[in-house]
Structure 1
Amino acid sequence: MALPVLICDDSAMARKQMARTLPKDWDVEITYAANGAEGLEAIRAGKGEVVFLDLNMPVMDGYEVLQTIQQQDLPALVIVVSGDIQIKAHERVKALGALDFIQKPVSADAIAAILQDYGILSELGTQDPALQSDMVKVDLRDACQEIANVAMGRAADLLAKLLDVFVLLPIPNVNVLEVSELTMALKATESSKKISALCQGFIGAGIAGEALLLFHDSSFADMAKLMGLNNPDDANTEVEMLIDTGNVLIGAFLNGISEQLDMQFSQGHPVVLGRHCTVNDLIHDNAEKWQRTLAMEINYRIEDHNIECDLLLLFTEDSLPTLSYKLGYLLDPE
C-alpha cells in the first residue's frame, strides 16, 4: 500500500522540485498543500504520514503547523524544507517536533539520506513520484518568487550570524510592474514613514538590474547598538550603517540567486539615493531610472528589535527572457 506523503509549500515551483527529488522507487501517494491550514486538513484526512513542510507560508506558517501537530498529537513525521537556514530556525523546528531540516533548493541525495536515516524509505514499488509532479503548474512569477525565497534565507542567515539575532522572514512579493506601480509594491513601507535608501546595480549574462535597500529611519538607533557603533545620530554613522547593511543583504541575496541560476553577477558601487525621505519622494526623484521591471520585494525585520528594512531587486524588462530560459526546466509551456 502506497505511503501517504504530503508536500506543503506555498510555491508551486518548490512543490514540483520536492516531488521530483523523491526516490523514484518509493511507493508513495503524494498530496499537495499551498499553506499550513490546507496541510493540517490533509494530515487529519490521513494524507500526510510523512510531511515535507515549508516555513514561510500564508494563512498558517510552518511553525504554526508544527505547534498544532505537537499539541494535537497528529500522526505525522515532519521534515522541514526551507530557505530559512538560520541556526535558530533549525533549533525552533526541532523543539517543535520536526524530524529533521533540509535547506532549499533540495537535492535527491539529501532527501534519500534522511529517509534512510530514519527508516522511512522502506516501502519500495514501481510508482514514479516525478509523474505526479507534472500535475503542478509553474509560471515565471512563481519560479522567481521561489528563487527569491531561497536567496532571502541566505541573506538573513548572514545577517543573523553577524548580529547574533533572529531575522523574521516574510513571503517574498514578486511582480512585473510599471514604474507607476512601484510605490504600491512597497506594502510594508507606509508612505508617511521616513526612510533612507541605497541603490546598487548588478549585471550578469543577459540579466541586469538594481538592488534597492530602504532602511526605516526608526531602525538606526537599534542597528547602531547591534553593530557596536557610537553616535547613531551622526550622519556619517548612518551612512556607514546603511552601506554595511546593504553589503550584507544585497551581496548575499545576489549570491543566492546566482547560485540557483548558475551564473555570476558583477555589482556596482553602492549609491545613497536619499536620506530621511518618503517612499513617494524617492520614487519621484528616480522615476526615469526605473521603467517596466520585475520586482522582488523582501521586508526584513529583526526579532525583539525595532529594525526593519525593505530589499527590492528590480530586474530590467530585457532580463525576463534570460530568467525564463534559466528557469525553463521548471516552467510549464503555456
Structure 2
Amino acid sequence: MSIRLLVCDDSGFARKQLIKALPPDWNFQISQAANGLEGLEVIRKGHGDVVLLDLTMPEMDGYGVLQAIRDEGLQARVVVVSGDVQEQAVQRVLGLGALAFLQKPVDPLDLRKTLREHGLYKPAVAKPAATPAAEPATQASVAIPVAEAPNAEQVSALQDLSKIGFRDTFREITNVAMGRAGALLARVLNVFVKLPIPNVNIFEVGELSMALADAQRGGAVSAVCQGYISGGIAGEALLIFHDSSFRDIAKLMQHEGEVDNNTQLELLMDLSSLLIGACLNGFAEQLDIRFSQGHPIILGQHCNFDDLLRVNQTRWKKTLAVELSYSIEHHSVNFDLLFLFTEDSVPRLQHKIQYLME
C-alpha cells in the first residue's frame, strides 16, 4: 500500500534536500506544503499519513501544526526535521506527539533509520542467490541493497523544485546556522530562544535602514561589529542590542550589581562572540569553507538605529544582508544579528552553493 507523504517546509531548497534523502524503494505518494496552514489543510484532506515537518515557518509554525493535529484528532504520524536544535525544542515537539526529531541538513541514513524504527518504511529485499547444493537448506537469506536511483515520485517532486534560486537556498543555509547559534545561547542562558524566519536581500545601504525598521523597536540601541573573510567571501557581522534589554540579559548571565556602561560593553562583547562565532561556523560547515574573524569593535552605544547606519554607510555600500531578529521567551530581551556580505562576495557564494542546489 502506498504511503501518503507530506513534506512541509517553507524552503523549496529544504524540501528538495528531504525528497532526495527519501528511500528510493519506499512506496509513497508525495505532497508538499510551504507553510503550516497549507500543511494542515493537506493533512485534513487525508494526504498526510506521514509528515516531515519543519518548525520555523510563516503563517503557522510546526508547533502550531502539531497542536492542531492533536486537538483535531487527525491521523498523521509526524517526524520533525528542523534547524532549531535546542533541547527544549526537541522536548516540546515530542510532547506534542511527534514521533522523532531530526536536525537539518538531514542525513539520509538517519532519516531511513528513523522511518524504519517507527514502522513507516521497510526496505525492499532482493531474493538471495540460489543456494549451492552443498550448503544447508536452512541458510539465512541475505538482504541485497536496492539501487539508489530515485523512484518516480521523487523524480516528479524534484522536477517541481528544479528552479530553486540563490536567495531561497542561502536563506535555508542561514536557517541552519541560526539554529546552531540559538541552541548555544539557549544552553548558556538556560532559556528558550525564539528563532525568526531569516530575511535575505541585496540592498543599497540607503535601503538598509528602511528594510530593518524592526531593529529600531524599543528606542536606543548599542552595536558591535566584527569582520570575517574566507577565500573571496567577506563581510561584517553586526549585533544590534536594544538598550531596554540590558537589565534582563544581565540577570540571565548572572551579573550582580549595577548594569553600567562597562557592564553593558562586556555583555555585548560576550553575546557577539557567542552568536557571531556560532553562526559563522554554521555557514562555514555547510559551504565547506573556513572564516577568519577580526576583532569585534563597538559601533555605537545608546544611539538611534538610523544614526548608526548613517555613520557607517561608507563601510557597507551595496550588500547582501542577512537579518536575524532573536528574542528570548518570557524575558524582555530582543536583539538583531546582521550579516552584511560584500557585493563582490555574491558570485563566490553562488558558486559555493551551486552544488547544493543541484
- TM-score, L = length of structure 1: 0.96
Q: What is the rounded CA distance, in whole Å, between the counterparts of 2:54 and 2:86 in structure 1?
A: 14
Deviations 1:39-89 (A, max 9, x none): 011111121110000001001110000000001111100000100000000
Q: What is the rounded CA distance, in whole Å, between the counterparts of 1:186 and 1:232 in structure 2?
A: 31
1:190 is displaced (CA, Å) by 2.6
Match of 2:323 among 275, 297, 301: 297
CA distance change for structure 1 residues 232 and 177 in 2, over 3 Å: closer, same or farther? Answer: farther
Deviations 1:129-180 (A, max 9, x none): 5412231131011011101100110000000000100000110111111111
Match of 1:134 among 159, 177, 188: 159
Structure 2 SS opposite 1:106: coil
- TM-score, L = length of structure 2: 0.90
The answer to whether the Cα contact below 8 Å between 2:218 and 2:244 also exists between their aligned partners in 1 is: no
1:201 is displaced (CA, Å) by 0.2
AA at the equivalent of 1:51: V
Map residues 25-104 of structure 1 onto 2, 5 A cutoff: 25-104=25-104
Structure 2 SS opposite 1:329: helix
1:187 is displaced (CA, Å) by 4.0
Q: Which has the higher contact order (CA 8 A, sep 6+)?
A: 1
1:123 is displaced (CA, Å) by 7.5
AA at the equivalent of 1:273: L
1:192 is displaced (CA, Å) by 6.8
Structure 1 SS opposite 2:71: helix
The answer to whether the Cα contact below 8 Å between 1:151 and 1:252 also exists between their aligned partners in 2 is: yes
Q: Which residues of structure 1 form unaligned runs of 5+?
A: none
Deviations 1:239-261 (A, max 9, x none): 00000000111000000110000
Match of 2:309 among 270, 277, 283: 283
Q: What is the rounded CA distance, in whole Å, between the counterparts of 2:89 and 2:202 in structure 1?
A: 31
Aligned length: 332
The answer to whether the Cα contact below 8 Å between 1:19 and 1:129 also exists between their aligned partners in 2 is: no
Aligned-pair identity (%) = 53
Q: What is the rounded CA distance, in whole Å, between the counterparts of 1:87 and 1:128 in structure 2?
A: 37
Q: Could you say which residue in structure 1 is the equivalent of 2:297?
A: 271
Q: Which residues of structure 2 form unaligned runs of 5+?
A: 125-145
The answer to whether the Cα contact below 8 Å between 1:198 and 1:274 also exists between their aligned partners in 2 is: yes
Q: What is the rounded CA distance, in whole Å, between the counterparts of 1:317 and 1:265 in structure 2?
A: 17
Structure 2 SS opposite 1:24: coil
The answer to whether the Cα contact below 8 Å between 2:250 and 2:259 also exists between their aligned partners in 1 is: no
The answer to whether the Cα contact below 8 Å between 1:145 and 1:173 also exists between their aligned partners in 2 is: yes
| Stretches (4+) displaced over 6 A | none
1:230 is displaced (CA, Å) by 2.7
Match of 1:260 among 280, 283, 286: 286
Deviations 1:88-120 (A, max 9, x none): 000100110001000001110110010111111
Structure 2 SS opposite 1:282: helix
1:29 is displaced (CA, Å) by 1.3
1:195 is displaced (CA, Å) by 0.3
RMSD value, Cα? 1.5
